[in-house]
Structure 1
Amino acid sequence: MNGTVYCDWMEAELDALRQQSLHRCLRIVDDRGEEGGKWLTVGGRRLFNLSSNDYLGLAGDPRIADAARQAAEQWGAGAAASRLICGNHRWYADLEERLAEWKQREAALVFANGYMANLGVIAALVGRADAVFSDRLNHASIVDGIILSRARHYRYRHNDPEHLEHLLKKHAGHRRALIVTDAVFSMDGDAAPLSELVELKARCGAMLMVDEAHAGGVRGSRGQGLCHELGLHEQVDVIMGTFSKAFGVYGAYVCADRVLIDYLVTKTRPLIYSTALPPMVVAAVRKALEVVQEEGWRRTRLRENSAWFRRRLRACGFAIGEGDSPIIPWIVGDNRQALRLSQRLEERGIAAVAIRPPTVPEGTARIRFSLMATHTREELEEVIRQMQLAAGAGEVETG
């Protein structure tokens, strides 16, 4: 294949990315079963896991795995078709009823994953004659959904309702307007000003969509998310969430009024043209939903861990982002420096991945720590000690 016409320009572009420390590669995780995923084995090295989104420590929960096993024995390994053909097995309907009750909305709709949900929902709700107003730091799936919709895309400054209001008034002539935001931002760990956004959407006649991917299971009295915690869940038009983070499984959902869900079933292309989730995955999600609601101690422990770890990092002089979530970014700035720090931490037994552009803005490369409810204070204290050693080894600025 060396003579293929695209090889030269691809190699040149990859070389340029390597020079900027922006090249990516896939690494094999040999094992993540120890202590429910709190420890990983990568390249034969045992690492303390500070990189996953398994906030409640449920990805390795034997009760959830057993629910999946029993469903696989009864239904097999796959759904065999899209939901609109013959893949809509009865457990889908049961799960969606439970989700609607949990979120206190009229209806729910399950998707294969969060990326497909955001792509499909946004493209179904708006088109060429419409406008989407999106936080500048929203997840890539939201950005891609807006591009796919062909609506006009107006980005407001991160968590800046005043700038959003300015844009809404300036671009008020569109057929429909959609405001969309993450609830908790995946790379910064801070929360959206949802009360202000609800007020703005009502005043300007817009729809509001909130992505609860990193808040679902973590926030709210029963893990319903940030919208619930703030008492705004009935005022948000579309609430999207995932099962791949705090739930420890896979998939996504949308909760809304019945008419909106009915509309999405007819109009959402990723739902219409994708094979349904396997029954064993849906069964695992159902069990995870039970555990998320019943075991509030996991949220309490996670909240305590997050607050304590943030305080200790600041006291030690580390430059970390604002917020109160389990996502805690150590802002480094330079891409190469972030990679070096990640490698030094790995050498000291810690899995903490370097996050670089385009995932984050230029000049804001970082180490993204992601805490779990199952982490202990002693383990996190040792992490801080190793961070200090890693920073000092290369005379890296902590703050």
Structure 2
Amino acid sequence: MNHSVMTLHRTKPFHHAPEPAFLARRVEGYYRERVQNTWDGGHIMRGRQPGEGAIHLSSNDYLSLARHPKILRAAAECLLKSGNGLLMSGIFLHGANPLLEFEKRLANFMGAQAGVLCQSGFAANTGLVQSIADENTPVYVDKMAHMSLWEGIRSAGAQAVAFHHNDMEHLNRQILKYGPGVILVDSVYSTNGSVCPLDVLVEVGASHGCVLVVDESHSLGTHGVHGEGLVAALGLCDKVHFRTASLAKAFAGRAGFITCSERFSEYFKFEANPAIFSSTLLPHEIAGLDATLTVIRDEPWRRKALHGNAAYLRDHLDDLGYNLNGCQSQIIALESGTERQTIALRDALEARGIFGSVFCAPATAKNRALIRLSINGTLTDDELARIVDVCRQIRDEVGMADWASTRRKKAQPPVIEHREAIAAVA
């Protein structure tokens, strides 16, 4: 028997380069103002760990495709056959190529002349705005538009002109003041699940000669007869210049997409910094996304189940007194207000096995933090009933009656505009 003892080698502690005072002050400000003063030494994003039987409402996998066997098989077979392929910028691709072929297929699915695949939805939005606006371009952006669109404005050096959420009259006044430019909106807003009045938007944009950009990250795959997105479902493809999307939502992958003209597709790939200076997607990612598109087209029951589940929860939570801020989609937000109140809401939900996503500044306005519930199509009737029951139980515990959002709900009539149109294409 070998009785030798293996020598343990202790590694020396690593020493980080000392931070200059200006950086140290900034980092210390985070720990002092947020962690200590606002979160009382805890962390708003780090609650309990989900246990057995927990209901997960934090994933954007709305159609429950992340473990679909056909998709996994396509990606796995491609990975074993092709490895990671050629690692290079997409600007070098031409001729017969799976990525370029998928661009055409997805563009056709969305009713567009052409499209461009990007590394992420963030890269798609920042690259697009950077390539269509400059310091002389007013860019009109909904106050609740995704942060990547705001980052695109900064990247372009353009003038950001905000307009009130879904307020087309305010948008019109802003354009009259600053002149024609680019309009940026989400079709379904990721923070609270509200839906853009796209039919009115295109009228306002066309009347002023503006370029329209609609982020369809949360409607591609989930809305339309085949999942083609809200713009196509409403018959507005020829009135919207660009649509963007993250394929990390209903497509359950990792990529971004832009619909555009054939001419613009070429221009974008050699003009947008994210397109030029990032490596292209890997072959197995393309294979998985291509299989996902087939599943989305061929399994419409997933969309039907998704919207049925979302409607059930919206109706019941509204009846319980929660202010859903005009939500008309699979994203349901419980706006608790301050970050302390949101921690209390998070803890109450998680203690009962319900896990959503915390949204706070800078993802929301200050003191309008919330728990976002991302609904999926495979929630069972028992799980839906359990979510409603938990939300009923905790109302007094979390002080829902005293939330600012609850007071707004009592003071304002319910938002019903566009519901019939959205229901028809969901």
Structure 1 residues 3 and 149, CA, compared in 2 at 3 Å: closer, same or farther?
closer
Identity %: 29
1:337 aligned to which of 329, 337, 341: 341
Label 1:44 to 1:371 Cα distance change in 2 as closer, same or farther (>3 A).
closer
**CA-based RMSD:** 2.2
Displacement, 1:313?
0.9
Distance 2:151 2:350 in 1: 33
Question: Any idea what SS the aligned residue of 1:293 has?
Answer: helix
Letter in 1 for 2:248: S
> What does residue 160 of structure 1 align with?
167
Give the 3-state SS of the residue equivalent to 2:226 in structure 1: coil
**1:341-385 CA distances to partner (integer Å, 9 max, x unpaired)?**
112211211111221122111222111111000012210111121
Shift in Å, 1:262: 1.9
- In structure 2, the partner of 1:306 is 310
346-355 or 274-283, larger mean C-alpha shift: 346-355
Cα distance in structure 2, aligned partners of 1:196 and 1:46: 44
Residue of 319, 326, 333 corresponding to 2:323: 319
Q: Distance in 1 between matches of 2:134 and 2:25?
A: 38
Which whole-Å CA distance do the structure 2 matches of 1:43 and 1:160 have between them?
A: 39
Distance 1:89 1:282 in 2: 14
1:224 maps to 2:228: yes
CA contact (8 A) 2:111 2:232 kept: no
CA contact (8 A) 1:89 1:279 kept: no
Give the counterpart letter for 1:220 in structure 2: G
The C-alpha deviation readout for 1:300-329, integer Å capped at 9, x for no partner, is 111111111111112222222213200011
Q: In 1, distance between residues paired with 2:56 and 2:216?
A: 23
Please state if 1:4 is matched with 2:19: yes
TM-score if structure 1 supplies the norm length? 0.91
Rate the CA distance shift 1:4–1:265 in 2: closer, same or farther, 3 A: closer
Distance 2:284 2:95 in 1: 13
For 2:75, the aligned partner's letter is A
Tell whether 2:135 aligns with 1:118: no
* Structure 2: stretches of 5+ with no match in the other structure: 1-15, 407-426
Cα distance in structure 1, aligned partners of 2:243 and 2:29: 42
Pairwise CA distance, 1:169: 1.1
Q: Write the mapping of 1:62-73 to structure 2, written as runs, cut at 5 A.
A: 62-73=69-80
**SS of residue in 2 equivalent to 1:368:** strand
What pairs with 1:1-399 in structure 2 (closer than 5 Å)? 1=16, 3-5=18-20, 6-18=23-35, 19-21=37-39, 42=49, 47-77=54-84, 79-85=86-92, 90-172=97-179, 177-397=181-401, 399=406
1:21 positional shift: 3.4
| Structure 2 CA distance for aligned equivalents of residues 115 and 329 of structure 1 | 22
CA 1:341–1:320 in 2, change beyond 3 Å: closer, same or farther? same
The answer as to whether partners of 1:321 and 1:328 remain within 8 angstroms in 2 is: no
SS in 2 for 1:99: helix
- How many pairs align? 384
Q: In structure 2, what is the Cα distance between the partners aligned to 1:2 and 1:385?
A: 52
Cα distance change, pair 87–20 in 1 and its aligned pair in 2 (3 A): farther
Shift of 1:287: 0.5
CA–CA distance in 2 between the matches of 1:63 and 1:253?
Answer: 22
The answer to whether the Cα contact below 8 Å between 1:135 and 1:155 also exists between their aligned partners in 2 is yes
Task: Name the CA shift for 1:193/1:86 in 2 (closer, same or farther; >3 Å).
Answer: closer
Code of the aligned partner of 1:14: Y
Instruction: Report if aligned partners of 1:319, 1:331 keep a CA contact under 8 Å in 2.
Output: yes
Q: Partners of 2:356 and 2:121 in 1: how far apart? A: 23
Deviations 1:247-299 (A, max 9, x none): 11110111122122122122111011100111111110000011111111111
- How has the CA–CA distance of structure 1 residues 187 and 168 changed in structure 2, closer, same or farther, with 3 Å as cutoff? same
Rounded Cα–Cα distance in structure 1 between residues aligned with 2:68 and 2:46: 24
Of residues 124-133 and 43-52 in structure 1, the stretch that sits farther from structure 2 once superposed is 43-52
Cα 1:203–1:310 change in 2 (3 A) is: same
**The 10-residue stretch of structure 1 (186-195 or 351-360) with the greater mean CA deviation from structure 2:** 351-360
Letter in 2 for 1:137: M
Whether the 8 Å contact between 1:131 and 1:151 is mirrored in structure 2 is yes
Unaligned runs of 5+ in 1: 29-40
Structure 1 residue 11 displacement after superposition: 1.9
Per the alignment, residue 421 of structure 2 pairs with none
- CA shift, 1:193, in A, is 1.3
Distance 2:154 2:290 in 1: 33
Shift of 1:220: 0.9
1:107-158 CA-to-partner distances (Å, cap 9, x unmatched) read 1111010000000000001111211111111000000000110111111111
Structure 2 counterpart SS, 1:145: helix
